[in-house]
Amino acid sequence: MPARIAVNGFGTIGKRVARAVKLQDDMELVGVTKTRPTYEASIANREGMPLYTLDEKQMKVMEEQGFRVEGVLQDLLTKVDLVVDCSPNGVGEENKKLYEEAGVKAIFQGGEEHGIAGLSFNAFSSYDLAQGRKWARVVSCNTTGLIRTLYPLDRMFKVEEAFAAIVRRGADPAEAKGSALNAVEPSLHLPTHHGTDVRTVLPGLNISTMAVKVPTTNMHVHCIHAKLRKKGVKTSDVLSLWDQMPRIRFVSGKHGIRTSGQIMEIARDLGRHSGDFAETIVWEDGTHIDGESLYYYQAVHQESDVIPENIDCIRSMMEMEKDASRSIRKTDRSLGIGK
């Protein structure tokens, strides 16, 4: 029997998780929620995603605007095994009480604290730990990107220490708010929370981070330095290690790909839904070893890199697949991502 899934919060991440769940042959999307009659409600109606509101009042407003609504969140929670909470930062903490009362499992997103679930998830490193769990938190887009490249490096060559300078997109493309149009804003809480967040998944990794916000919407770019304990590692060794990993993809300046905008164009040319790029993108010719120091650049599509992680997290929490690599392969095939 397929796992019955709800998505609470149908914004940037929620609509993508909902679409991804619909593509799985071992999961059923039972419903999604909206609080307001904005255009995402018509996406849900048009794409056959049963639509729920948080309460009766919202349901009335929505129906008056011509949307088809099946009920309220409380009804939805009686019909599912697991809810993927994609509500705004910090709201998941309040929602957890509702899930507890309804006796359903829940996945929270990176805008919540680690303590909400006690397990912060990345499919490469935490799949086994999530088996059968009631709560988990899929870490943020930046944290996911950092883990994807640093986890295999640490396993193969031992990372003595790592430092990442994170160049953050100011806002998502659909957001009306965002960073100033002509300014760069450094994060003044140092070191930034990103390194701490990586350690919620990889506690042994000695990593610190700094970040600046820039006026772009398409991707984050990471400038990473990792000191490797193993001697004699060559750039080609690092590239061939990453090449064997799912969800890491190379681009090259030599082939004309020098900017995050050009990477987004590749996603569109590949026909990816919404122009998404869920893999972590590493510049092959922006990777260099000097003695024990590895330097590299990578780009992260903030709106989509956590989507496959949510699908694997569901599969592990629902104990539908014991083997992480089999789940990752299944997810990636269904979403049309990979090399």
Which two structure tokens, joined as six digits, stand for 60? Answer: 């009335």
Q: Is 338 left (phi over 0), alpha (psi -120 to 50) or beta?
A: left
Q: Which of 3, 5, 7, 9 binds ligand NAP (CB under 6 A)?
A: 9
141 part of the active site: yes
Q: Which of residues 280-309 bind ligand NAP (CB under 6 A)?
A: 302-303, 306
- What's the min distance (Å) between Cβ of 241 and ligand NAP? 26
Q: Between 41 and 248, whose beta carbon lies closer to ligand NAP?
A: 41
CA–CA dist 175, 226 (Å, integer): 34
Site for ligand NAP, residues 120 to 149, rule: CB under 6 A: 140-141
Minimum distance, C-beta of residue 142 to ligand NAP, in the bound complex (Å):
8
| Binder among 19, 30, 32, 33 for ligand NAP (CB under 6 A) | 33
Q: How far is the CB of 251 from ligand NAP (least distance, A)?
A: 21
Question: Residues 87, 149, 298, 316: which binds ligand NAP (CB under 6 A)?
Answer: 87
User: What is the residue type of 335?
Assistant: L
- Judged by CB under 6 A, the residue of 5, 19, 76, 109 near ligand NAP is 109
Stretch near ligand NAP under the rule CB under 6 A, chosen from 35-43, 59-67, 230-238, 254-262: 35-43
Binding ligand NAP (rule: CB under 6 A), the pick from 3, 30, 34, 201 is 34
Using CB under 6 A, which of 110, 152, 170, 195 touches ligand NAP? 110
Smallest separation (angstroms) from ligand NAP to the CB of 96: 12
Instruction: Provide the phi-psi class of 327: left if phi over 0, else alpha when psi is between -120 and 50, else beta.
Output: alpha
Which DSSP letter does residue 31 get? E
CB within 8 A of 124, min separation 6: which ones?
Answer: 147, 148, 151, 152, 245, 247, 324, 328
Which residue, 156, 147, 296, 167, is CA-closest to 226? 296
Q: Which stretch binds ligand NAP (CB under 6 A): 27-35, 160-168, 205-213, 248-256?
A: 27-35
Which string of DSSP letters, residue by residue, matches 259-279? SHHHHHHHHHHTT-GGG---S
String of contacts with ligand NAP for each residue 170-189, x by CB under 6 A: --x-----------------
Q: By rule CB under 6 A, what count of residues binds ligand NAP?
A: 28
Give the strand order in the sheet containing 105-108: 71-72, 51-53, 27-33, 3-8, 82-85, 105-108, 135-138, 120-121
In this structure, the number of other CB atoms found within 10 A of the CB of residue 132 comes to 9
H or E segment at 226? strand 220-228
When asked if residue 111 is in the footprint of ligand NAP (CB under 6 A), the reply is yes
State which residue, 110 or 246, has the beta carbon closest to ligand NAP. Answer: 110
Under a CB-based contact definition with an 8 Å cutoff, are residues 287 and 294 in contact? yes
Q: Of residues 65, 78, 89, 244, which one binds ligand NAP by CB under 6 A?
A: 89
Stretch (H or E) spanning 82: strand 82-85
Residues recognised as catalytic:
141
Q: Which residues contact ligand NAP by CB under 6 A?
A: 8-14, 33-36, 38, 54, 86-89, 91, 109-112, 140-141, 172, 302-303, 306
